Amino acid sequence: MVTQLLPGRGPDPAAVQSAAWVARCVGRGASVPLGPEDLRALASTLEARAIAPGGVLFRAGVGPAGVWLIRSGQVELAVGSGRKRAVLTVLGEGDVDGDIPMLLKMPPPYTARALDPVSCLYLSPEAFEGLLASQGQLARRWLTSVASRLAHSQNRLVGLLGGSLTAQTARLLLDEADATGTLSLSQATIAAMLGARRPSVNKVLGELAAAGLVEVSYRHIRVIDRDRLAQVD
């Protein structure tokens, strides 16, 4: 792991640019705008970190782990090991994690591991607590982000419950695909996220591909027909 503290004294352009990027990731700018002072305070606390593939950002039950914002690469959140291992989700560019356990004053319930080279920004527990205590507007902005992510997780859970494996797979693909309809997840990861056996998920993906709804290749799936995929049951 490589750590570099972003310059925080004065209006350093690189630090403020990183702070502005973080602000776009956490909440709605129109409803809770941030001023120059908020960005300077955030810029002074950010640490840039690089994580090698397989590297652990934080471990389940160990913490507080601080707050992590992914700039590039993918980070897998998982619980358990061996056959009992389950992948909760995969974080990508712009995703945030660690702040909810921090707010609840509890260690993270899952382990975060880099799937490929990851570049991220980090806020230590002390820095995060200090920002929320001293920057009221930034605290409000962050809480809107937390509420939005919790609502998304709840809607996703409801959508996955009770459906067939085919319907669950379709919903997961729609949720994880980016604006171009692409998601870079292995079939093993998708199976772990669904709590299903890999051969069963491979079969479902093959059926969806044969129906012209998706294209499947190694660690790469592209959604071709969102409307039809959303109707799968």
What is the Cα–Cα distance from 155 to 191, expressed in whole angstroms? 20
Q: What is the mean pLDDT of residues 116-127?
A: 93
Q: Are the C-beta atoms of 108 and 122 separated by less than 8 Å?
A: no
Q: What is the mean pLDDT of residues 166-180?
A: 86
What is the Cα–Cα distance from 40 to 18, expressed in whole angstroms? 10
- Portion of the chain with pLDDT greater than 70, in percent: 89
pLDDT at 37: 80
Q: Please state whether the peptide bond connecting residue 101 to the residue before it is cis, i.e. omega within 30 degrees of 0.
A: no
Beta bridge partners of 71: none
Q: Does domain 163-230 have CATH number 3.30.1340.10?
A: no
What is the Cα–Cα distance from 39 to 48, expressed in whole angstroms? 16
Q: For residue 126, count CB atoms less than 10 angstroms from its CB and return exposed for 0-12, middle for 13-18, buried for 19 or more.
A: exposed
pTM of the model as a whole: 0.69
Quickly state the pLDDT bin for 55 (edges 50, 70, 90): very high
Question: Domain residue spans in the chain?
Answer: 13-155, 163-230
pLDDT at 124: 93
Q: Which fold has domain 13-155?
A: Jelly Rolls (2.60.120)
Quickly state the pLDDT bin for 64 (edges 50, 70, 90): confident
> Pseudo-torsion of CA 204, 206, 209, 211, nearest 10°?
-70
